[in-house]
């Protein structure tokens, strides 16, 4: 979500971007399949999470708005002590509430219909980790070294877990919370108490977010590797090397794990063996997390393009160019792909042809990834607003 020359972890982040994962995404997970035609075991999971589901495929079961021409509301973040360190998490939509973290050191709960604040939970550092909602609790990390669990209705803290700076977006499933940390670790915590179930140590900060499938956790690290870890024991199954740090969150299908790397490639890795199936080269670092639907994989690059490549071969199908770096992770609803760009726009692109269907202009880069529910797209901008657009 690197350590390359050995500059500090913070130095490698864009000045005003959470990654969103890259940074670090609606989150209505009502389906038992969401990888664009994939049907494999789905754990009992969160009601809302980064990339829509714990497989992190970025697919939403929602009516897609195409034109992005109507603003339902725009919620302005309130500065605390006139301090805003920049960046915004990706939103999560659960019930009648949109949850989002911000660089001004807060998690917000916003009314989905009116765009009015329900509550605000302050932290001591930016909240770039995108929230997961499960069992009446909202789980999210902060740069203040804590993972928080707060009541989704009141914003009151239930528990907090101390580690290091957290940019990773937690995954909630089967009563456990999985999250990466700046202390080089992947944690599995009890969702009710915050107690550690297990901890797996990598050799770099873990800013990527965990993807879950069939008893395994898949996650990238700043140590240049993609890991497959047993969900119950925390034991390593395999690790796959790339040539640079992995901020991108993996997307998991029946047979393949897809992930981007700072080395400029999108990788397809065999889910069982950890062997490379193919790699696709872009012209810039890949911070964006891939989305998978049908026969295509979609990913953004800091070269300013959104790419669609064939799932089985890695061959390019189309390329959609913007005028800014793409750190935002694409999401899919129906036949439309939505992605933000550093040129201050959110774009709607036809999934098969790559033709633009609509765009929405903000007053700052759009690093946040979108969440979609009931014909509305929710996303954040570096202009300090959370938008709801049709």
The pLDDT of residue 146 is 98
Q: Which residue has the higher pLDDT, 39 or 121?
A: 121
**Which of 7-16, 20-29, 212-221 tops mean pLDDT?**
212-221
Residue range 292-300: average pLDDT?
Answer: 98
Contact 301, 342 (CB under 8 A): no
pLDDT band at 66 (very low <50, low <70, confident <90, very high): confident
Residue range 275-300: average pLDDT?
Answer: 98
Question: Which helix (DSSP H) or strand (DSSP E) does residue 323 occupy?
Answer: none
Question: Which of these ranges, 81-90, 105-114, 312-321, has the smallest mean pLDDT?
Answer: 81-90
Backbone angles phi, psi at 11, to 5 degrees: -65, -25
- Reduced DSSP (H G I as helix, E B as strand, rest coil) percent helix, strand, coil of the chain, to 5: 0, 45, 55
pLDDT band at 153 (very low <50, low <70, confident <90, very high): very high
Distances (CA, A) of 357 to 123, 124, 295, 302, 335: 39, 40, 21, 22, 10
**Distance between CA 72 and CA 88 in Å, rounded?**
20
Residue range 163-169: average pLDDT?
Answer: 98
The pLDDT of residue 43 is 56
Tens digits of residue pLDDT in 69-102: 999 999 998 765 555 556 789 999 999 999 999 9
Q: Give the helix ranges, DSSP H, for the chain.
A: none
The pLDDT of residue 14 is 36
Q: Which residue has the higher pLDDT, 7 or 142?
A: 142
| Structure tokens belonging to residue 55 | 């497989």
pLDDT higher than 60, residue 231: yes
Helix, strand, or coil (residue 378) = strand
Q: What percent of the chain has pLDDT over 90?
A: 83
Tens digits of residue pLDDT in 19-53: 333 333 333 333 333 334 444 554 545 579 999 99
Residue 99: Cβ within 10 Å count: 28
Distances (CA, A) of 382 to 147, 281, 376: 24, 28, 20
The pLDDT of residue 77 is 86
Q: Is the dihedral of CA 387, 347, 261, 55 positive or negative?
A: positive
pLDDT higher than 60, residue 6: no
- What mean pLDDT is reported for the chain? 89
The pLDDT of residue 67 is 85
Q: What percent of the chain has pLDDT over 70?
A: 86
Question: Which of these ranges, 5-19, 71-85, 225-239, has the smallest mean pLDDT?
Answer: 5-19
Residue 41: Cβ within 10 Å count: 10
Contacts 24+ apart (CB under 8 A), 357-364: 357/66, 357/67, 358/65, 358/66, 358/67, 358/68, 358/69, 359/68, 360/68, 360/69, 360/71, 360/387, 360/389, 362/387, 364/16
pLDDT higher than 60, residue 227: yes
Contact 49, 172 (CB under 8 A): yes
The CATH homologous superfamily for domain 10-389 is YVTN repeat-like/Quinoprotein amine dehydrogenase (2.130.10.10)
Helix, strand, or coil (residue 181) = coil
The pLDDT of residue 78 is 76
């Amino acid at each position: 979500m690197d350590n390359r020359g050995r500059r500090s972890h913070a130095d490698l982040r864009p000045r005003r971007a959470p990654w969103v994962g890259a940074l670090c995404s609606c989150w209505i997970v009502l389906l038992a399949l969401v990888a664009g035609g994939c049907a494999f075991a789905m754990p009992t999971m969160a009601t809302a999470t980064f990339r829509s589901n714990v497989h992190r495929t970025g697919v939403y079961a929602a009516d897609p708005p195409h034109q992005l021409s109507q603003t339902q509301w725009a919620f302005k973040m309130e500065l605390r002590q006139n301090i805003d360190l920049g960046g915004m998490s990706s939103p999560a939509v659960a019930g009648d509430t949109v949850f989002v973290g911000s660089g001004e050191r807060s998690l917000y709960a916003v009314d989905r219909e009116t765009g009015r604040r329900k509550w605000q939970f302050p932290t001591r550092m930016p909240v770039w980790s995108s929230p997961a909602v499960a069992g009446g609790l909202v789980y999210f990390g902060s740069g203040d070294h804590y993972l928080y669990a707060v009541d989704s209705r009141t914003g009151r803290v239930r528990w907090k877990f101390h580690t290091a700076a957290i940019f990773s977006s937690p995954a909630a499933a089967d009563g456990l919370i999985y999250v990466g940390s700046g202390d080089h670790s992947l944690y599995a915590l009890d969702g009710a108490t915050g107690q550690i179930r297990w901890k797996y140590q990598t050799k770099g900060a873990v800013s990527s977010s965990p993807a879950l499938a069939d008893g395994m956790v898949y996650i990238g690290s700043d140590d240049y590797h993609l890991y497959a870890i047993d969900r119950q024991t925390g034991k390593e199954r395999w690790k796959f090397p790339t040539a640079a740090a992995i901020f991108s969150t993996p997307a998991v299908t029946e047979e393949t794990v897809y992930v981007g790397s700072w080395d400029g490639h999108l990788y397809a890795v065999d889910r069982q063996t950890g062997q490379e199936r193919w790699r696709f080269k872009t012209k810039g670092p890949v911070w964006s997390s891939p989305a998978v639907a049908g026969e295509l994989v979609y990913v953004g690059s800091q070269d300013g393009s959104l790419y669609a490549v064939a799932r089985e071969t890695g061959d390019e199908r189309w390329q959609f160019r913007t005028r800014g770096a793409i750190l935002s992770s694409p999401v899919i609803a129906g036949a439309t792909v939505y992605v933000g760009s550093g040129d201050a726009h959110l774009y709607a692109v036809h999934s098969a042809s790559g033709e633009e269907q609509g765009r929405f202009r903000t007053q700052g880069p759009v690093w946040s990834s979108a969440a979609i529910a009931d014909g509305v797209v929710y996303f954040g901008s570096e202009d300090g607003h959370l938008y709801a657009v049709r």
